[in-house]
Every structure is written in C-alpha cells, then in structure tokens.
Amino acid sequence: MTETFRILIADPIHEDGRKLLEGNGAFAVDVATGLDEAGLIKRISGYDALIVRSKTRVTAPVIAAGVSLKAIGRAGIGVDNIDVPAATERGIVVFNTPDANATTTAELTIAHLLSLSRHLPQADRSVRSGDWKPAQFVGSELAGKTIGIIGFGTIGRLVAVRCAGLRMRVLAFDPFVTPEIMAQSAAEPQDLDSLLEVADYVTMHCPLIDKTRNLIDAARIAKMKPGARLINCARGGLVDEAALLAALKSGHLAGAALDVFAQEPPKGSPLLDQDNIVLTPHLGASTEEAQQAVSVKIAEDIALFLTTGAAESAVNLPRISSEQLSRTRPYQELARALGRLVDSLSGGPIRELVVRLFGGVAGLDARPITAEALVGLLDKRLAERVNRVNAAHLARAQGIEVRESRSEHARDYISLIEISAVTERTTTTVAGTLLGGRLPRLVRIDAYEVEAVPKGHFLFTSHADQPGVVGALGGLLAREAINISRMQVAIDGNNGGSGKAIALISISDALPERSLAEIQNMPAVERAVTFEL
C-alpha cells in the first residue's frame, strides 16, 4: 500500500501550488491559515510537511510539536520566520524558493531602465498637471549604450540577456563568476572601477554582506561616467544614499531608480524630494507570476522530497543517521575549514575544486566531505545560505567544476584531506588531517609544511626568506595590541633554495585594513592576506 503524506498549508499560496499537491494521490492536503503559535502547536503533530509564507512563524516549540514533520517549505526567499537550527537539530529539511522570482526582479530592473532613459514618471506627472511640454522630456535610446551589472547571479544574468536584446553593450563585475559563465549571457567581464568609468547605466544585483555594504559610496560614484544613471533593485544597503543624493543634486549623475532602501519605508529621506530619481516600494517580487512561481516551486520541492528524498533546494542539512554522522562529522568540519582557507588564498574566480582523500578517510563516502569543502569555499562568497545539500548546485552556478579522488595509500598521515582550487592563473593546494582521529590540523599550504589549528583569525604572508621579516610582522602586531597565538614559518619544501618562505600566524583579533596594507607594502613581502577559520 502506498504511503500517504499529510501536508498542512498554513499561509495562503497560489491555487496552482495547492492543486499540484491535491492532485497527487500520495498527499493529503489541509489548509488552515491564520494560526498563531498555540494553534499551530495544537494542529501540527500529525503532518509530514508544513508550507508557509512570511506571516506564520515556525518556532522551536512548533517544530518540537511536529513529531511527524519531515519538511518545512517557505514559499519565498527569506526563512527568518522559521527556526532553521531547531529544524536541523530534529532532522527536518527546510526549503525555500530563491530563484522563483528572479524573472520578475529582472523585469523590474528593465522597467526602471526604460523609465530613466525616457523620463516616464516625470512626463506622467506633467501631463496630469495639465502641461503638454514634450521638449522637457527628451530622452536617450538604450541601443548602443553600455550597462554595467554589479553581481552576476541568477537575476544579474537575466538582466544581461534582456539588455543584450535591447542592443546594449553589457559589462559585468562579479569576482566569483568565471568569464565563461558571463559570456553565456552576452556579458563582458570587467573590474569594478573600469565598469563604473564607462557604463551609461549601472545596476546592482549583488548580496548585502559586510564587504558590499555601501559598495557604491561617494568615491565610487565619483568614478562613474558623468551623466550616468544608477539602478538598485537588490538591497538597500548597497548604495550610500547620502552620496547618491549629492551626485544627483550636482548633476554628476543624471538619474537613479531605487526599489530598495537602507530603511524601509524611507520616511523623511531627502531622496523623496529629488525629481531625477524614480522610487518604488520594494516591488521586486510583486507580480502575479512570481506569486504563482514561488507557490508551485515549493509544492514541487516538498512533493519531490517526500516521495524521493531529493532536496536540492534545501537551506539546511538533510537527515543523516547518527552512525554516519559520528564517522563523517570530524572530517566534514576539517573539509569546511580547508575550503574556507583555500578560498582566502586563491586569487580570482575559481574554475575547479579538487578534493583528494588519502588513507583511512578514503574509506568513507566522499560526497558529504566534498560538499562541506564547498560550503567553506562558498560561504563568504554568496548571499544564499550554503549547506551540503545545495553546495554542489551553487558551485555549478558559479562555473566551478568539482572533482574527487580517493586513495587508501596514506601520505605521511593515517588520514589526509587535500583540496586544490584552480583559477585561470594559479593552483592553490591545502591539506589537513585529524590528530587522534578528532583534532583538526592544517599540515600543508602548497609546498610548505605547517602545523596549525584551523580556528580563529590568521595572518598569512608569502615573502623573501631573509632576516627581519618575521620581526617586522611581530612588531606591527604588537603595535596593534594583537597577540600571536601560534606562528608557523616555512620554506618551499620542493625547492628549499628558492629564497621564498611563508608565515602563518594565528592572531587574537582581526587585523585592521590599514595594518594589512602596511604589511603588503613591505619590500620583502610578496603577498599578505588575513582570514578567519
């Protein structure tokens, strides 16, 4: 007899998503909207899956009451209304629909592009006020103009294709996407400053993280082509709104269009009084089609998971037996640290990631270990939540080819994990092991033998093997009141006479950018980077 899965829909979703589930004999679907926490706790115990939007909060008590719950689906992007750690702890997979509204957001970008080029909102207001002054609204053709796309994920790529269809020249900046992926969407790769200098239009499509907050500030706006126009349908914090206002008032920028703001709604913002800016109230996902798409996608994902176990769109970890987890967990944690390390040391977009297992670890399933290495590699690069369920999918989207190899032959250690990141110009290799089968250690960076605990803040330098370098580094750290926990200095193990060395220094706090720049300018230092594991 075929098992029947019970699904509770706790927020309104598009009828197409609901009908997709109701039309499948494997599911019994109930709809109960407007439940508070107490009501959901009382209702949830007999259900295999729960589908919500943003209104219903799936708290830890709700999850604890869901004794049969296998999956939680969020019809939309954000999962801040779901206690994901609590779900993960109970082996419940959480899904969302990050790409289902990509087309809608891309089309809104094009709408703003056209509005800016032809002054459509201003012309509309003029006609409504009784004027008829077409000469005041002479616009610009898009054909032949250059658009710069900052952030080349799913939405950025859709915008690129549409702009190419308008016969625009398309430039793109994204340090984590290869030129080949950009070329597939008719875009030319550019560094950020070069893009800003030549683009007639600049549109933002990158995540909001610490490194991208106020990415477009006064200094970068000053580098933009005089008369350029700026569009932001991504995240409000990407653009320094005060600097944008100044550029619009001075005429350095001819116009701007914002769908997102640092504070929403932007009550009291001086941008509201500026005539050469188009403002919309965060409409990126506000279309009938997008609402349908997120509903159908979450229904499809829940159905596929319940019937086959597939979980490509999950935002947390899949269920794994306690026996499997206990055997693989230490190696997964080591692989994640190595992935983060190789990301920190690799320059430019990564084309290939190679994970090699030697000795005892080669007897384990390599897939969760490789996935965890990808989590470490991608975690700081992407806005999406990265886990071992979706890591391979996200890597493919970034143009990263992933290869695995295993050998039971031990290389100096009982078990060894070696990870190589290949870019267009370089290959960076790091290796680690577990001491006593449980204590992670970094043991090699390229040809340099080291021994370090992969945890905390680090300063890494590649420098000439000469007296005074280590002392200079120590003196600078002392000046910044940063303690050295451990220090490893090594020379090239393949060519000890090369005159090159590295220093891997575990430090108590993050190093200020000004101090890192000072180290990078030391004559003996070829390269200096900081990172946290």
Active-site residue list: 235, 264, 282
Q: Which amino acid is at 476?
A: L
Q: Count other C-beta atoms under 10 Å from residue 382's C-beta.
A: 20
Query: Cα(46)–Cα(62) distance, rounded to whole angstroms?
Result: 12
DSSP string, 503-514: EEEEESSPPPHH
| CA dihedral (276, 281, 284, 288) positive or negative | negative
Q: Is 371 helix (H, G, I), strand (E, B) or coil?
A: helix
Q: Which residues contact 181 (CB under 8 A, 6 or more apart)?
A: 152, 398, 399
Look-up of token digits 């001819």: 254
Q: What is the DSSP letter of 238?
A: G
Query: Cα(263)–Cα(274) distance, rounded to whole angstroms?
Result: 17
Q: What are 156's two structure tokens?
A: 């950025």
Query: Cα(260)–Cα(283) distance, rounded to whole angstroms?
Result: 9
Query: Cα(360)–Cα(34) distance, rounded to whole angstroms?
Result: 53
314: left (phi over 0), alpha (psi -120 to 50) or beta: beta
Q: How far apart are the first and last CA of the chain?
A: 50
Look-up of token digits 């089609």: 289
